[in-house]
C-alpha cells in the first residue's frame, strides 16, 4: 500500500466526507458500485465454463448485494439522497455495469481478465476502506459497516489471486501480467476522464458566471416588473364572420 495513494485517499476522503451532503453522496455511490458489481459477478456465474468457480462467484455476488444494502441503509440513516441526483446516479450505474447499452464485464473481458479485474478493484476498495477506518471517517456506525465489508473484500482478493496463480502455474504468466496491466491502465484512464469531467464542470460554471456578469447583469437595472392581474384586450374591429375566416 503506497504512502502516496494513502495520503491521496485521506485528503480526498476528508473533503468528500465534509462537503455538504458528502456522506450521503459517497454512501450512495458505494451502494451503486456494489450493486453493479453483483450484476457483473452474476453474469460471470452464468457464463463461466468452470464449474469449480460457480459457487465462488455465487458467494461473491451475494456479498456484493449485501454490501449494496448496507450502504443504502447508511444513506437512509445519514439523510436521503436528492431524487434527481439518485436517478442520474442509478442510470449511470446501469450503463456502466452493462445492464443497459453494453455487455457485462465478463463478456467484454473473458475469464482471466475478469479475475484480474476483481483482484485489482477489490484490492483498491479494501485499501480505501482501511484508510477511512484508520482516520475515523466519518462516524462510528459507518466505520463499523466499512470494517464488516472489508472482511468480505479480503475473501474476494484471496480467491481471485489464487485463480491468477493457477493461470501462472499453467504457463500463462504473460497473459496474467498483460491482463493486470490492462485493468490498471483502464482504471487510470477512467480516473482521468472523471477528473476531466469535474474540471470541465468547474470551467463551464466560471464561464457562465462571467457571461452573466458581463452581458446580463449590466442590464438588470433597466428591467421592470410587469403588473399583475388580468389585462383588457381591445376588441377586434372586424365583423365576426371575417374574423372567423381569418382564424381558419
Q: DSSP labels for 59-116?
A: HHHHHHHHHHHHHHHHHHHH-PPPHHHHHHHHHHHHHHTTSSSS--HHHHH-HHHHHH
Question: Distance between CA 94 and CA 88 in Å, rounded?
Answer: 10
Q: Which three cell numbers stand for residue 241?
A: 364572420
- Match 442510470 to its residue by C-alpha cell: 91
Q: Which domains are seen in the chain, by residue range? A: 3-174 (1.20.1260)
**Nine-digit cell string for 134:** 484508520
Q: What is the pLDDT of residue 116?
A: 96
Nearest-10 Cα torsion for 108, 113, 116, 117? -10
The pLDDT value recorded for residue 9 is 80
Q: Which helix (H) or strand (E) holds 223?
A: none
Beta strands in 136-183, from DSSP E residues, in sequence order? none
State the cell numbers at 92.
Answer: 449511470
End-to-end CA distance of the chain: 77
Closest to 12 in 3D by CA, of 181, 127, 160? 127
Round to whole Å and give the CA distance between 8 and 25: 19
pLDDT of the residue at 221: 75
One digit per residue, the tens of pLDDT, for the chain of length 248 reads: 578 877 878 887 778 778 877 888 888 888 888 988 998 999 999 999 999 899 999 999 999 999 999 998 888 888 765 555 555 455 555 555 444 456 788 989 999 999 999 999 999 999 999 988 888 877 888 889 999 999 999 999 999 999 999 999 999 999 999 999 999 999 888 888 878 888 888 899 999 888 888 887 777 777 776 666 677 777 777 777 777 777 76
CA dist 217 and 145 (Å) reads 49
| pLDDT computed for residue 101 by the predictor | 52
Q: Give the distance from CA 195 to its chain's centroid.
A: 13
Q: Is there a contact between 62 and 34 (Cβ–Cβ < 8 Å)?
A: no
Contact of 27 with 151, CB cutoff 8 Å? no
- Our measurement of the distance from residue 16's CA atom to the centroid of its chain's CA atoms, rounded to an integer in Å, reads 14
The label of the residue with cell 494513502 reads 6
Query: Can you state the angle between helices 22-47 and 111-134, rounded to 10 degrees?
Result: 150
Query: pTM score > 0.85 for this model?
Result: no
Q: Specify the pLDDT at position 213.
A: 84
Whether the link from the prior residue into 138 is cis, omega within 30° of 0, is yes
Contact 176, 116 (CB under 8 A): yes
Amino acid at each position: 500500500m503506497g504512502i502516496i495513494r494513502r495520503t491521496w485517499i485521506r485528503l480526498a476522503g476528508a473533503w468528500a466526507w465534509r462537503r455538504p451532503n458528502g456522506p450521503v453522496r459517497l454512501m450512495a455511490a458505494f451502494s451503486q458500485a456494489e450493486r453493479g458489481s453483483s450484476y457483473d459477478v452474476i453474469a460471470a456465474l452464468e457464463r463461466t465454463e468452470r464449474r469449480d468457480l460457480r459457487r465462488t462467484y455465487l458467494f461473491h455476488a451475494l456479498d456484493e448485494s449485501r454490501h449494496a444494502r448496507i450502504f443504502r441503509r447508511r444513506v437512509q440513516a445519514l439523510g436521503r439522497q436528492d431524487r434527481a441526483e439518485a436517478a442520474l446516479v442509478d442510470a449511470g450505474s446501469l450503463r456502466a455495469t452493462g445492464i443497459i447499452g453494453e455487455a457485462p464485464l465478463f463478456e467484454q473481458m473473458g475469464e482471466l481478465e475478469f479475475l484480474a479485474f476483481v483482484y485489482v478493484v477489490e484490492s483498491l476498495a479494501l485499501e480505501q476502506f482501511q484508510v477511512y477506518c484508520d482516520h475515523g471517517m466519518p462516524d462510528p456506525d459507518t466505520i463499523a459497516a466499512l470494517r464488516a465489508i472489508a472482511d468480505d473484500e479480503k475473501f474476494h482478493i484471496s480467491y481471485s489471486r489464487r485463480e491468477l496463480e493457477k493461470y501462472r502455474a499453467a504457463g500463462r504468466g504473460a497473459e496474467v501480467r498483460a491482463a493486470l496491466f490492462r485493468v490498471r491502465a483502464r482504471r487510470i484512464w477512467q480516473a482521468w476522464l472523471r477528473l476531466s469531467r469535474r474540471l470541465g464542470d468547474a470551467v463551464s460554471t466560471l464561464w457562465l458566471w462571467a457571461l452573466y456578469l458581463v452581458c446580463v447583469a449590466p442590464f438588470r437595472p433597466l428591467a421592470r416588473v410587469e403588473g399583475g392581474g388580468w389585462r383588457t384586450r381591445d376588441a377586434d374591429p372586424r365583423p365576426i364572420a371575417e374574423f372567423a375566416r381569418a382564424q381558419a
